[in-house]
Amino acid sequence: MQLTKTDFIQFLNCPKSVWLMHKDPEKYPESPISDFDQKLIREGYEFEGHVKALFSSFENASDFEFQATYKTDDGLLARADIIRKNADGSIALYEIKSSTEVKTDKKHHHLEDAAFQTVVATRAGETVTEVYIVHLNKKYVREGSINPEHMVSVSDVTDRVSNILPKIEKQMDEALDLLQADQIDRSSCRCLLLSKGHHCNSFEYFNPDLPDPSIYNLPSLWGKRLETFVTEGRLELSNIELDEVTNQQKPVLAAFQNGGQFIDRADIQNFFDTLEYPLHFFDYEAYGSAIPMIDGLSPHDHLPFQFSLHIMQADGSVSHVEYLAEEMKLPEKLVDALVQNIGGSGSIIAWHKTYENERNKHLAKLYPQHEEFLLGLVERTKDLEDVFKTGYVDIAFGGSSSIKRVLPVIVPDLTYEGMDIAEGTAAMDAWAKMVAEKDSDAKAKLRKDLLAYCERDTLAMVRIFEYVKSVLSSA
Ligand code: SF4
């Protein structure tokens, strides 16, 4: 039985899931790697290539070794991204991360990663004197070919790793002990006391008797309130009263109590009162990448390459405009198309407006001559998703307000099923292929699929909007 760095980080998140994966893999609900995760992996390798090129160009390049492997008799396995061998026989460890800083949040465990490698190398007989995280320089702006010297940053984390080493070493021993155990308590797991966002795919395996829907359909249910419901055995929504939940959770509970839906017409009307015609149902597609693809971009910048815009007049008539970049270039033409098609008045309607607003703010920096227009778009943007948080909730949304959950319930005849591009990462990949494609038929097919996908996004908003409007007028 071997414990790798990936296993250990999973152990820190959840010992039970790592035990199940190793000891009873048939019961472990393996989830397929998403397109987005695959893209992250590809970008990680790409950055690693630039780091290797940089380290190989150093005068003392022969001191560095890539992918040094360490194993211990008790089952620890580490593959260090880079080590530097010092003259006295000690080593420095370098871990490569394609982020723009050393991250220590819930999703990133850069220091724990580095500490794991340090412990394994030390137990395998090395003396580790320094530890570094190699990451992207967020201030780097591409000009011409990638310049690894300017794009790569190295942060010394020796002291920070040293501080956590005793704790990490103890946790690694606990992880090894756990993997020796033939059985664990499989009757439940600790995520019963955590909100849905923490649950992994094994939640149902460890908690097979959960009702559906359950209290975990209530958004942001955590802390004392969740603990009370769980300890009192009240996992069914039918055992919860409206005065026991927050205002954010009430619509979901009320939808359940009403046998399916909760509709607050006054709340929906409030949203409508903020709108000004013509309405611009708007969606961007953007290419985000760790390594800047073209001149003028920095690591992890998003390059908008496409938009779809359905424009609805006060009489309900709808027209459609779209833009798709043919080349991988800064989006000057896209901004021109926006200026041309979105006038100075009327609301912009997006779903989860943060994304569109971030793109507009970034474009305003790139094109100061259009700053007033682009920041004006930010001011004018309303979020249709808000209606589905407080004004209209169906229990079939599963406690979510994402358009992918709302659309099939509200407008079941309009789906993404059968489309060759049906989500954002696939659109990014398709666009990168399209701009590089030499075969005109293949290029035309990718273009058609991209336009169809983005149009579907804004048409979905139009249809959902029309549905909600009809709900209001049927009062
Ligand atoms: S749902 Fe259960 S198995 Fe999964 S992470 Fe949470 S505690 Fe672990």
Number of structural domains, the chain?
3
Residues 159 and 274 in one domain: no
Distance CA 263, CA 394 (A): 9
Among 137, 163, 180, the domain boundary falls at 180
Pairing relationship of beta strands 152-156 and 128-136 according to DSSP bridges: antiparallel
The atom number, within ligand 1, closest to the CA of 190 reads 7
Does the residue 186 lie in any domain? no
Does the residue 195 lie in any domain? no
Does the residue 312 lie in any domain? yes
Each residue's pLDDT tens digit, 182-226: 999 999 999 999 999 899 989 999 999 999 899 999 999 999 999
Work out the number of other CB atoms within 10 angstroms of the CB of residue 417.
6
> With a 6 A CB cut-off, is 395 part of the ligand 1 pocket?
no
pLDDT more than 90, % of the chain: 93
Mean pLDDT across the stretch 412-435? 93
Residues 166 and 302 in one domain: no
Task: Please say whether the beta carbons of 192 and 230 come within 8 A.
Answer: yes
* CATH number where 450 lies: 3.30.420
Among 226, 258, 290, the domain boundary falls at 258
> With a 6 A CB cut-off, is 191 part of the ligand 1 pocket?
yes
Ligand 1, atom 8: nearest CA belongs to which residue?
14
Q: Which pLDDT band holds residue 246 (cuts at 50, 70, 90)?
A: very high
> With a 6 A CB cut-off, is 393 part of the ligand 1 pocket?
no
> With a 6 A CB cut-off, is 199 part of the ligand 1 pocket?
yes
pLDDT more than 70, % of the chain: 100
312: nearest Cα among 384, 360, 374? 384
Residues 80 and 217 in one domain: no
* Residue indicated by tokens 């336009």: 451
Q: Given ligand 1 and candidates 23, 188, 199, which is best to mutate, with the most ligand atoms within 8 Å of its CB? A: 199
Residues 252 and 127 in one domain: no
Residues 218 and 301 in one domain: no
Residues 152 and 223 in one domain: no
Task: Please say whether the beta carbons of 103 and 133 come within 8 A.
Answer: no
Ligand 1, atom 6: nearest CA belongs to which residue?
191
At residue 34, the pLDDT reads: 85
> With a 6 A CB cut-off, is 362 part of the ligand 1 pocket?
no
Residues 424 and 392 in one domain: yes
Amino acid letter for position 74: D
The atom number, within ligand 1, closest to the CA of 15 reads 8
Q: Given ligand 1 and candidates 18, 193, 200, 205, which is best to mutate, with the most ligand atoms within 8 Å of its CB? A: 200
* CATH number where 155 lies: 3.90.320
Does the residue 192 lie in any domain? no
Does the residue 197 lie in any domain? no
At residue 103, the pLDDT reads: 95
Residues 315 and 253 in one domain: no
> With a 6 A CB cut-off, is 117 part of the ligand 1 pocket?
no
Residues 274 and 232 in one domain: no
> With a 6 A CB cut-off, is 202 part of the ligand 1 pocket?
yes
Each residue's pLDDT tens digit, 90-117: 999 999 999 999 999 888 899 999 999 9
Does the residue 190 lie in any domain? no
For residue 157, give its domain range: 5-180
Mean pLDDT across the stretch 294-317? 96
How many helical (H) and strand (E) elements, i.e. helices and strands, does the chain have? Answer: 17, 12
Residues 113 and 230 in one domain: no
Does the residue 383 lie in any domain? yes
Residues 171 and 149 in one domain: yes
Q: Which two tokens stand for residue 54?
A: 């940089």
The atom number, within ligand 1, closest to the CA of 13 reads 5
Query: 177-206: string of b/e by CB count within 10 Å (b at 16+)?
Result: ebbeeeeeeeeebebbebbbeebbebbebb
> With a 6 A CB cut-off, is 203 part of the ligand 1 pocket?
yes
Task: Please say whether the beta carbons of 270 and 289 come within 8 A.
Answer: no
The atom number, within ligand 1, closest to the CA of 200 reads 4
Task: Please say whether the beta carbons of 380 and 346 come within 8 A.
Answer: yes
Among 158, 180, 202, the domain boundary falls at 180
Residues 90 and 220 in one domain: no
Task: Tell me how far the alpha carbon of residue 312 is from its chain's centroid.
Answer: 31
> With a 6 A CB cut-off, is 11 part of the ligand 1 pocket?
no
At residue 107, the pLDDT reads: 84
Does the residue 378 lie in any domain? yes
